[in-house]
Structure 1
């Protein structure tokens, strides 16, 4: 049973798990007006809790871009890759609308349609706005979003608001032109290519102006930033402070993707990406100024499905070309599914069985003990907010930090699938060793099932495998395991040292 402590003089919660779920985004956004929280309730990209239950999709209607970033190369495409700007086919507005309606009918938990590339949507205003115009008319139950670098944003804010765009993401990597000159080699502005510090200066000015205009019109703004070690890592704390002051409500700091095979300038020049520890440290240092998004998957510009999965291959143009979609009927079904999802979310919140007691009475009954240390736990899940995935089938793990105060989501760690039908023994061993490295710092792995070999390797690495909470809500299970660790005295001992793994 979860325990929440009330101050005897204020009668307000000062610890424990919130009724809406331990460490959920609802808690972190509690300072926002109810109307705003309602807007993000079923938005998987803006709400940490919603991403367990709802799907999103992106349509690639915007091929052109008006800036160049050292971390971007839109020409590369691999169906197995998740990276912003990557697409397999660019659509016309008509094709995009048909695809959206086909996906919404087939995946009723899809609530959000975003345009995010492969270039910049607002550098392609006619194609972007026509797509939004048709969707606001034909599929009014779908939330419409746009992601932009912000250079052309001020000029189209009024048009965006005409099409009921309530969520906009702006990528802001700096507020200092000297830093920006290291990230952006050029921009295309007023029919001219501008380079260097002046280019960054114009881009920053337009981004800040667009942000202020959107906030003034009641549009929710999320800011994306790419963490580039040695370039803007320390500076992003200032970015977070500035954009919060101007009304952005969520900050998503993403790790630089700079593999040389992607052909980006940073990749070719050997610029490294941040470590997991560096990314988490920056998230934590910015969290005091801004609500931080930690569940981002850095999706492709044609992504379809739940965060962490991509079903785009099921809805290519050749597969939807001859579909006859009755969207009025689909909307009825979608409403039923959304209602069931919300009922399930409510049930999960109530399952915690919270008991409220006064701080004074608790102090009389429990001797003072040192605060137990926090614990990182990795979770294998396919979605829905429950532990339902076999360890060997996971391609990513959600990492949570449990403490005596709450459970908070830390981030996502990508891994190679350990158990695959066409994988040889040697390849599986290599994948397992990579997974162990990816789970560095975690003390527990929660999954629905796990084989003997990975179980032994995890224990040798100082990570306790746990399959006892299959199909339970994630945060409830993490809380239960942490309580067991505290009651058994395991948290009084230092973090276990991993044994040396065999090569």
Structure 2
């Protein structure tokens, strides 16, 4: 969902949502054209114990459902790192580049706390503060701890989480519990030291730099100690793994099984980003990233292991907003007001509205899924959305499509596909449309709120039907209806 206007009008709009949810939703989104995203387990309250559900229900990275409604924020307070990854280069900075380790400004704990307060005031969807570097949050511990302490005092309703390679986590397990940090992401790319040595050139531990297999072995042992220690203390753990073709791709199935056995809540298998322009070792040496098909095949092969997160956006270390959007440039230090007052009432009212909206959407989704008849194969349908779990974005404005599979009795989220928005200054870009068609390969149906005649015709010529008849409907309802329409049309043609 987009930004809510920071005024008393929010309360009116959100209160109205109880009787007219889409009208209020449109008002709430009026300042944003960015796409939403998703992150986390697809299970709802009926699929987990109440304590766990309370932890994940508003966390966009741990609940697939929550990513439609809630925003996260990362503050770049931890620049120091204790390992080197062949896919990382923290020196590179571009405000238009979205990938881990990239930041536009590094913050002191005091500046970070002030920035979080400003974002919370302007973005009532904010539910989570994370520290994800640009180095390692557990290694640069004093800054991480100071930031969390300051934010906890001013914004006790915001969840705290951090990302780490795990090397230093065992030193801070009890502190994390005391600080109310109940979500930690560990990056675990291998279990075999020989494979890990191809990913990590060195590891800094206990005052020494360790290289090769010896360094890798130290890192892997500490990662397992971290995972086990966090789980034992009731902290939810998401494991990130970077899929690197020819190095660890075949091995990640074993990683998935082991982290499940050790209690990880989610496993997020991400594609390697290896553009040479980023200056990473893998980028400069020609190591390719996986194709979408390769990534999906690996994720599917892990379906009997740890629960998979398929909606990750590989966020910057200073990302702000819904998954899939980044509003960080709106909140640089030079743009913050002198005086910032918190507005917890608007955040609470928004969360109450989300709770009501979720119930309505779940009921609609169940009814829609029950209407789906058996098909020869699942049909993939791309959705243009700007949040709220609805088909509510103009085709030409989206920078990503969310892809769903419709099959007998189920509509399931399977991933997202990033694109450059087709419309530029009111005019369509033909080159961008060609690229969108390429990105949507294998997806025969697109749902959006509006589309022009010219792009609709060009997509149809490429075998992609664009449907705007379900604008503002819930995604699951629209996907199920589009799948039924397609099946009926195919049956008519065969007859």
With the length of structure 2 as denominator, give the TM-score of the two structures: 0.88
Instruction: Name 1:458's counterpart in structure 2.
Output: 459
1:118 corresponds to: 134
Question: Which residue does 2:388 correspond to in 1?
Answer: 384
Return the match for 2:56 from 40, 52, 62: 40
Aligned match of 1:241: 257
1:192-236: per-residue Cα shift (whole Å, max 9, x none)? Answer: 111101111110100000100000000000000101111111100
- Shift in Å, 1:240: 0.5
CA contact (8 A) 1:26 1:37 kept: no
Residue 213 of structure 1 pairs with residue 226 of structure 2: no
After superposition, the C-alpha distances for 1:328-376 in whole angstroms (9 at most, x for unaligned) are xx1122111111121112222233473999xxxx9xxxxxx97432101
Equivalent pairs counted in the alignment come to 456
Report the equivalent of 2:439. Answer: 438
Q: Which one of the candidate residues 389, 395, 402 is aligned to 1:398?
A: 402
For residues 340 and 30 of structure 1, what CA distance do their matches in structure 2 show? 20
- Residue of structure 2 in register with 1:326 after alignment: 341
1:34 Cα deviation from its structure 2 partner: 2.3
Partner of 1:148: 164
Q: Which of 163, 168, 176 is residue 184 of structure 2 equivalent to?
A: 168
> Could you tell me how far 1:161 is from its partner in structure 2?
1.2
Looking at structure 2, the residues matched to 398 and 352 of structure 1 have their Cα atoms a distance apart, in angstroms, of: 16
CA drift at 1:309: 0.8
| Residues 52 and 383 in structure 1, CA contact (< 8 A), matched pair in contact too | yes
The structure having more radius of gyration, on CA atoms, is 1
Match of 2:14 in 1: none
| 2:210 matched residue in structure 1 | 194
Deviations 1:371-420 (A, max 9, x none): 43210111111111111111111111111111113111111111111111
In structure 2, the CA distance between the partners of 1:492 and 1:112, relative to structure 1 (3 Å rule), is farther
Structure 1 CA distance for aligned equivalents of residues 305 and 239 of structure 2: 13
- Determine helix, strand or coil for the equivalent of 2:245: coil
Alignment correspondent of 2:418: 414
Instruction: Report the CA distance between 1:38 and its aligned residue.
Output: 2.0
Unaligned ranges ≥5, structure 2: 1-38
Q: 1:228 and 1:122 mapped to 2: Cα distance?
A: 25
Tell me the distance in 1 between the aligned counterparts of 2:255 and 2:269: 10
Instruction: Tell me, in whole angstroms, the C-alpha distance in 2 between the residues paired with 1:252 and 1:356.
Output: 26
Paired with 2:139 and 2:439, the residues of 1 have a C-alpha distance of 38
CA contact (8 A) 1:373 1:491 kept: no
Q: Does 1:72 align with 2:85?
A: no
Q: Distance in 2 between matches of 1:371 and 1:395?
A: 30
Tell me what 1:277 maps to: 293
Aligned to 2:362: 349
Q: 1:181 aligns with which of 179, 187, 197?
A: 197
Select which of 109, 124, 137 maps to 1:93. 109
Q: Per-residue CA shift, 1:457-497, capped at 9, x if unaligned? A: 2112111111111111111100111122223335997xxxx
Q: SS at 1:223's partner residue?
A: strand
- For structure 1, the residue ranges without an aligned partner over 5 or more in a row are 1-22, 363-368, 494-503
CA–CA distance in structure 2, aligned partners of residues 375 and 430 of structure 1? 27
Change (3 A) 1:277 1:491: farther
Q: Secondary structure at the match of 2:456?
A: helix
**What corresponds to 1:447 in structure 2?**
448
Paired residues of 2:374 and 2:407 also in contact (CA < 8 A) = no
1:340 partnered with 2:353: yes
Q: What displacement does 1:321 show?
A: 5.1
Three-state SS of the structure 2 residue aligned to 1:378 is: strand
After TM superposition, give the deviation of residue 294 of structure 1 in Å: 0.6
